[in-house]
């Protein structure tokens, strides 16, 4: 009797243990990089969701260059993507606080960011543009910003550039959480100008006939977008870099870019 009891107990224990083993999604997968292993890891990936054409919502789904890219990389490298849209300014802090494994949100590669997170190889060449109200003819170059008000988005390369300009000229900075709020500020003429990533503003002007905005002057900087990855996860960084390389080689990368912006904004 006792023997049967203990046998039952051990088999039950063994069952529960094996069940635990197969259902734990976040355990590091013994992936050989081909995605062939039957255990798929899920990574929590942050994004901004108000940043077309890179990430935006359409018919209740998140779409955009970044979204397609990260999904394609996941397919190639054998991991699942759990997308977490949030305010851009919170993305890097969320990675350092281990709330996110990585993030793809048109993140420019900067030295400050490199200190706190790992950044992948470049996946897009962007750059910053100066944007003003379409009625405004008095601002054509950074020097014209003297004494003016600029609307910027917290924690972006654009805000960093604006802060530099503010040191040079006497500029007032108004900070916002999203690109739409920042654009609205210029449209309502509460701010004279804003600084936004070139592909984003050119996309907005292309799809929104009532934008009331225009790009002035040359690009202010040449920025490069990278995918931010937690410093605790070298393996994921490796996978992402491999994925970017494979996508570029296979032509799938160009396919994704052309799907959203064609060749106009590159």
Q: Which residues bind another protein (CB under 8 A)?
A: 89, 92-93, 96-97, 112, 116, 151, 154-155, 159-160, 163, 174-177, 181, 184-185, 187-190
Q: Residue 17 half-sphere exposure, CB side, CA atoms within 13 Å?
A: 6
Q: Write down the least CB distance from residue 96 to another protein, Å.
A: 6
Closer to another protein by Cβ: residue 110 or 122: 110
Of 129, 94, 140, which is closest to residue 223 (Cα–Cα)? Answer: 129
Closer to another protein by Cβ: residue 74 or 155: 155
φ, ψ (nearest 5 deg) of residue 26:
-95, 0
Closer to another protein by Cβ: residue 228 or 257: 228
Question: Which CA distances in Å does 84 have to 78, 87, 148, 153, 177?
Answer: 19, 10, 36, 19, 16
Tokens of 11: 């088999």
Q: Distance from CA of residue 91 to its chain's centroid?
A: 8
Closer to another protein by Cβ: residue 83 or 149: 149
Closer to another protein by Cβ: residue 181 or 206: 181
Cα–Cα distance measured from residue 234 to residue 257, given in angstroms and rounded to the nearest whole number: 27
Q: Write down the least CB distance from residue 151 to another protein, Å.
A: 7
Q: Write down the least CB distance from residue 123 to another protein, Å.
A: 22
Q: Write down the least CB distance from residue 265 to another protein, Å.
A: 26
Q: Write down the least CB distance from residue 206 to another protein, Å.
A: 22
């Amino acid at each position: 009797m006792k023997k049967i009891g203990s046998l039952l107990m051990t088999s039950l224990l063994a069952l529960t243990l094996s069940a635990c083993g197969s259902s734990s999604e976040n355990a590091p997968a013994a992936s050989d990089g081909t995605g062939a292993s039957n255990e798929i890891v899920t990574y929590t990936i942050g994004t901004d969701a108000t940043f077309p054409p890179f990430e935006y919502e359409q018919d209740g789904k998140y779409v955009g260059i970044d979204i397609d890219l990260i999904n394609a990389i996941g397919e190639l490298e054998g991991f699942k993507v759990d997308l977490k849209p949030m305010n851009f300014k919170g993305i890097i802090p969320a990675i350092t606080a281990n709330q996110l494994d990585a993030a793809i949100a048109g993140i420019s590669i900067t030295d400050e960011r490199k200190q706190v997170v790992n950044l992948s190889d470049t996946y897009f060449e962007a750059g910053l543009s100066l944007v003003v109200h379409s009625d405004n003819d008095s601002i054509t170059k950074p020097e014209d910003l003297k004494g003016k008000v600029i609307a910027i988005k917290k924690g972006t390369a654009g805000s960093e550039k604006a802060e530099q300009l503010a040191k040079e000229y006497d500029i007032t900075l108004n900070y916002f959480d999203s690109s739409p709020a920042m654009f609205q500020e210029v449209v309502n003429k509460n701010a004279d100008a804003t600084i936004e990533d070139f592909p984003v503003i050119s996309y907005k002007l292309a799809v929104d006939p009532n934008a009331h905005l225009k790009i002035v002057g040359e690009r202010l900087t040449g920025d490069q977008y990278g995918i931010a990855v937690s410093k605790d996860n070298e393996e994921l960084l490796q996978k992402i870099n491999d994925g970017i390389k494979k996508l570029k080689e296979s032509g799938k990368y160009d396919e994704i870019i052309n799907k959203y912006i064609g060749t106009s904004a590159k």
